[in-house]
A and B are shown apart, each in its own frame.
Chain A
Amino acid sequence: MHELRYVWEWPVRLTHWFNAISIVVLSVTGYYIGDPFVSVPATSQYVMGWMRFIHFLFAYIFMLSVLSRLIWAFLGNEFASWRVFFPWATSKGRQYIVGTFLFYTFVKAKPPGVVGHNALAAMAYVGVIGLYVVQIVTGFALYGQYAPGGGWDSSLGWLLPIFGNQGLRLTHHVVMWLLIGFSIHHVYSAWLMEVKEKNGTLASIFGGYKFIDPKELQ
């Protein structure tokens, strides 16, 4: 008998979608800033100007969203807690890691029954959050150059002499591609889990509820 479980609280869902939209918008505008693939004939246009404005606007949205999610890791329910992101720290978690790995490598037909994040996804998210922080830090350090002595320059400008302006730019660019790679994997895995677990995974990130069969939980 399946029961309805409230898994993803609204701050988790909200920050998820703010992150998702931000990553799409920041990738498109960021790619344009790095390689302006459209040239316009009239000087009265403001294409790059708008691209940069949108990029900076969403940079702030993304930063606040990531920050909110990190804070929620200490305030939210057991599925949002920072603890779920380190499954390797507990013996139960290690079982889940092995089980999920065997599922992904086609050895087992079904992943271990869990309510929240699967163990491998949780571990991947730690890496992704690390990449988010790298993007935010390199991005705002580069952004701060428009106003030497300003807030961003004072707080992050010290990175420029260490890694070099161009080094930060290259890092910012490469991490964008890593996040695009992650997004492809993430959408695929979400679909896969939807199909295999049959518990409403895809819908849960909109509504927050999953259909869980307690018998399947180990």
Chain B
Amino acid sequence: MNVDQKSTQVSIPEEILQKWEAKGVSRRDFIKFCTATTAALALPLSFVPKVAQALEDKRPPVIWVEYQSCSGDSEAFLRANQPTAGDIILETISLEYSDVVMAASGHLAEEAKHNAMKKYAGKYVLIVEGSIPRGAGGGYCTIGGKSAVDDCKELVKNAAATICVGTCAAFGGLPAAAPNPTDAVSVMDLVPGAPIVNLPGCPVNATNLTATIVHFLTFGKLPAVDRLGRPKFAYGKRIHDNCERRSHFDAGQYAEAFGDAGHSQGWCLYKLGCKGPETFHNCPTCRYNEGVSWPVMAGHGCIGCSEPGFWDTMSPFYRRLPNVPGFGVEDTADQIGLGLAAATAVAFGAHGVVNIGRSYFGKNDSDADQE
């Protein structure tokens, strides 16, 4: 890359770096954050100063609400990728309300949320975690006496943009799994047509949330999304197509059981029910926990947690195909199919035997029939 060194040289203004140093974020950490986020957004290196500048200028108000959730996405974000990433984002945004980290409680907290919504109407970024239960008139989840349905609708309609973190907010997730006792829905099903970006995953990958916020700060709009509202930079490719075990898949090397020779050699987890071929996510490249690992790297197949219809459509986790409706849970599609083929062969074999029998014993009968 010597040839192009001049054109790819980028720098972040000294005063920005000094400002962050004063806040306790080393220049090394800040540069790492800017470049990592730019890379996550699949932007060229020349955008690094723009990203740094965007973090400088604005302090958008953010309201982070939780409905039917386990707070796993909040946890994932607060223990973000690089220890400083969470700090930088929390410094950059103005977090007006968050169930997990706010100091206020009770009606004071609810009042703060309501005031922030009025004050920054049409300007704030809403982050939703968890699905919204519509059953029992919204009675399954209420905050300060207000149902999640009403709360979410009001917040989404007044927001500049809504980011749905985690599979529950994006697609309904676990609460919406069959039989969905609370009639849980995703934000996009509750408020169709609103400017929403979905960041599914269980939990959301903090890198993708950070990158989405930075994209909004840098360009003033949400990133380009696919037909399910997922940013293309993070959900544009299948896990299977970027998997580090892909060469074993193509070769035909599969772990047959956990702990067998193939498994210990890092062979493909396809036969153990890995849902990487069904799942769009950037896990293989971004990984989780400071980029340390992700399920397939750790030796367990993907369970497709970021796909619509997760849990129902991705179970059973340790088989390739879903159960055939109407058959027992132990019957695979292949066993049923083989049974079907065998039954066909037996039936027509029997038909043939009868026909042969007729040719020998019923000759007169056949002639009489024709005349």
Contact = CB atoms under 8 A, between A and B. Distances in A.
A181 B308 CA distance: 33
Interface residues of B, number: 55
A170 B322 contact: yes
Given A45-B251, A166-B313, A39 B341 contact: no
A165 to B, nearest CB: 4
Interface residues of A, number: 50
Given A170-B333, A192-B352, A45 B252 contact: yes
B256 interface: yes
Interface in B233-269: 236-238, 241, 247-254, 256, 262
Given A167-B322, A177-B336, A184 B238 contact: no
B366 interface: yes
A180 B320 CA distance: 21
A146 B251 contact: no
Contacts of A180: 337, 340-341
Given A44-B251, A49-B250, A165-B278, A145 B340 contact: no
Interface in A44-60: 44-49
A46 B355 CA distance: 48
Interface stretch (B53-61, B199-207, B343-351): B343-351
Contacts of A173: 321, 333-334, 337
A31 B308 CA distance: 26
B313 A165 contact: yes
Nearest to A102: B369
A180 to B, nearest CB: 5
Contacts of B298: none
B253 A184 contact: no
Interface in A156-203: 157-158, 161, 164-167, 169-170, 173-174, 176-178, 180-181, 184-185, 188-189, 191-192, 195-196
A36 interface: yes
Contacts of A34: 320-321, 334
Please report whether the interface of chain A is mostly helix, strand, loop or mixed according to DSSP: helix
A177 B345 CA distance: 13
Contacts of A181: 340-341, 344
Contacts of A195: 355, 359
Contacts, number: 134
Interface string B307-338: 11100011000001110100000000110111
Interface stretch (A12-20, A72-80, A106-114, A118-126): A106-114
A157 B227 contact: yes
A109 B358 contact: yes
A109 B228 contact: no
Interface of B: 226-228, 232, 236-238, 241, 247-254, 256, 262, 270-271, 277-278, 280, 307-309, 313-314, 320-322, 324, 333-334, 336-338, 340-341, 344-345, 348-349, 351-352, 354-355, 358-359, 362, 365-367, 369-370
Given A36-B254, A177-B336, A185-B348, 6 more contacts: A34-B320, A39-B256, A41-B253, A145-B238, A180-B340, A188-B349
The 5 closest A-B pairs by CB, nearest first: A177-B337, A47-B252, A109-B366, A49-B250, A188-B348
Interface of A: 31, 34-36, 38-49, 104, 106, 108-110, 145-146, 148-149, 157-158, 161, 164-167, 169-170, 173-174, 176-178, 180-181, 184-185, 188-189, 191-192, 195-196, 216
10 contacts: A34-B320, A35-B271, A38-B252, A39-B253, A43-B251, A106-B358, A166-B278, A166-B313, A177-B336, A181-B344
